Amino acid sequence: MLKKGNKLYSILTGSCPKCHKESMYLNNNPYAISQIFKMHERCSHCGTKYKIEPSFFYGSMYVSYGVGIAFAVAAFVIAFLFIGASLVNTFIAIVLTMVVFMPFIIRLSRNIWINIFVKYEPKSAKSQLE
């Protein structure tokens, strides 16, 4: 369904935004809380530096806010409109959704942020750089 060369592929898989050949993260599981922010320094295939500048991923907090709002709205629609829960139960569903999906939202927002600035280049193999 998702093919390399598509920004959505890199965003959803957490792969290198330039070559899409390896994961940016040391541990692909976002629920390994102690390693949620640990990334490779560079891509081993194309040499792309992930932390483009110091504090680069602070900008992903803005993306995280938008993604979090989308998750909260989805939880509201499902709980209140589809299931017909009370407002208190809907609020609890929103809070639980945000807590459960927090690691996923953090990773997703980082992936979106770096994909805004780095373009996919299929021929960016390390062998071509040398």
Report pLDDT digits (tens) over 55-81: 899 999 999 999 999 999 999 999 999
Nearest to 51 by CA among 38, 43, 41, 62: 41
Say what the alpha-carbon torsion angle 29, 30, 36, 38 is, to the nearest 10 degrees. 40
pLDDT at 44 over 60: yes
The mean pLDDT of 40-56, rounded to a whole number, is 90
The mean pLDDT of 32-47, rounded to a whole number, is 92
pLDDT at position 54: 87
